[in-house]
Chain A
Amino acid sequence: MKIMVGQGSCGIAAGASKVMTVLQNNLSDKGFDISITGCIGMCWLEPIVDVTEDNGKLHRFVKVGENEAKCIADAVISGNFESTLSLEITDEDNSFLTQQTRIALRNCGIINPESIDEYISCGGYSALKKVIFSMSQDDVIEEVKVSGLAGRGGAGFPTWFKWNAAKQSQGDEKYLICNADEGDPGAFMDRAVIESDPHSLIEGMLIGAYTIGAKEAVVYVRAEYPLAIVRLKKAIEQAKALGFVGKNIMGSTFSCDFRIKAGAGAFVCGEETALIESLEGSRGMPRLKPPFPAQEGYWHKPSNINNVETFANVAWIIENGGKAFSAMGTEDSKGTKVFALTGKVKRGGLVEIPMGKTLREVIFDIGGGIKNDKQFKAVQMGGPSGGCIPAELLDTVIDYKKLSATGAIMGSGGMVVMDESTCMVGMAKFFLDFTAKESCGKCVHCRIGTKRMQEILTRIVEGNGRSGDIELLEELCGAIKDGALCGLGQTAPNPVLTTIKYFRNEYEAHINDKKCPAKECTSLLTYEIDSSKCVGCTLCAKKCPVSAISGTLKSPHVIDADKCIKCGQCMSICKTKAISKN
Chain B
Amino acid sequence: MCQCSCNNNINLELLNPVLEHYASVKGSLITILQQAQEIYGYLPTEAIYKVAEATGNTPAKVMGVATFYTQFRFKPIGKYLILLCKGTACHVNGSETIAQTIKELLGIDDGETTDDGLFSLSFVACLGCCSLSPVMMINDETYGSLTPEKVKKIISELKNNNN
Contacts and interface: CB of A to CB of B under 8 A. Distances in A.
Interface of A: 9-10, 12-14, 43-44, 46, 182-188, 191, 223-226, 261-267, 278-284, 299, 340, 342-344, 348-349, 380, 383, 414, 416-418, 422, 427, 430-431, 434, 438, 440, 545, 567-568
Contacts of A184: 126
Contact of A12 (B69, B88, B142): B142
A218 to B, nearest CB: 10
B8 interface: no
Contacts of A186: 87-89, 126, 130
Contact of A44 (B68, B86, B131): B131
A223 B93 contact: no
Contacts of B128: 9, 182, 187-188, 191, 224-225
A278 B30 contact: yes
B125 A343 contact: no
Given A261-B31, A283-B64, A416-B92, A13 B144 contact: yes
A567 B68 CA distance: 35
A100 to B, nearest CB: 16
A481 B110 CA distance: 31
A343 B131 CA distance: 7
Contacts of B132: 10, 13-14, 43, 46
Given A185-B91, A261-B30, A264-B70, 6 more contacts: A225-B128, A264-B69, A283-B68, A342-B89, A414-B88, A418-B92
Contact of B34 (A43, A223, A267, A430): A223
Nearest to B62: A281
B27 A280 contact: yes
B71 A342 contact: no
Interface in B134-149: 135, 140, 142-144
A266 B89 contact: no
Contacts of B34: 223, 262, 264
Nearest to A341: B131
A267 B125 contact: yes
B88 A416 contact: yes
A342 B91 contact: no
B131 A349 contact: yes
B28 interface: yes
B129 A343 contact: no
Contacts of B28: 281
Given A14-B132, A265-B71, A343 B89 contact: yes
B131 A10 contact: yes
B141 to A, nearest CB: 8
Contacts of B26: 280-281, 299
A278 B65 CA distance: 9
Contacts of B70: 264-266
A191 B89 CA distance: 16
A216 to B, nearest CB: 12
A261 B130 CA distance: 24
A279 B131 contact: no
Contacts of B86: 185
Contacts of B31: 261-262, 281
Interface in B37-89: 64-65, 68-72, 86-89
A568 B101 CA distance: 12
A406 to B, nearest CB: 18
Contacts of B125: 183, 185, 224, 265, 267, 434, 438
Contacts of A283: 64-65, 68
B124 interface: yes
A281 B51 CA distance: 13
A224 B124 contact: yes
A425 to B, nearest CB: 13
B33 interface: yes
Contacts of A343: 88-89, 92-93, 130
B113 interface: no
B130 A13 contact: no
Contacts of B68: 266, 283-284, 440
B118 interface: no
A13 B88 contact: no
Nearest to B91: A430
A316 B15 CA distance: 45
B142 A266 contact: no
A430 to B, nearest CB: 5
Contacts of A187: 126, 128
Nearest to B137: A13
A284 B127 CA distance: 20
B29 interface: yes
Nearest to B127: A224
Nearest to B126: A185
A284 B27 CA distance: 12
B126 A10 contact: no
Contact of B30 (A185, A281, A340, A349): A281
Scoring B89, B131, B135 by chain A CB atoms within 10 A of each residue's CB, the highest score goes to: B131
Contacts of A278: 30
Nearest to B149: A572
A264 B27 contact: no
Contacts of B130: 43, 186, 188, 340, 342-343, 348, 416
Scoring B27, B34, B100 by chain A CB atoms within 10 A of each residue's CB, the highest score goes to: B27
A263 to B, nearest CB: 8
Interface in B92-113: 92-93, 97, 100, 104
A226 B127 CA distance: 10
Contacts of B120: none
A228 to B, nearest CB: 9
B88 A380 contact: yes
B93 A264 contact: no
Scoring B64, B72, B125, B128 by chain A CB atoms within 10 A of each residue's CB, the highest score goes to: B128
A184 B28 CA distance: 26
Nearest to A350: B131
Contact of B69 (A225, A266, A344): A266
Scoring A226, A282, A349 by chain B CB atoms within 10 A of each residue's CB, the highest score goes to: A282
Contact of A282 (B65, B129, B133, B140): B65
B129 A9 contact: yes
Scoring A13, A225, A343 by chain B CB atoms within 10 A of each residue's CB, the highest score goes to: A13
B131 A342 contact: yes
B33 A264 contact: yes
Given A10-B131, A264-B34, A281 B93 contact: no
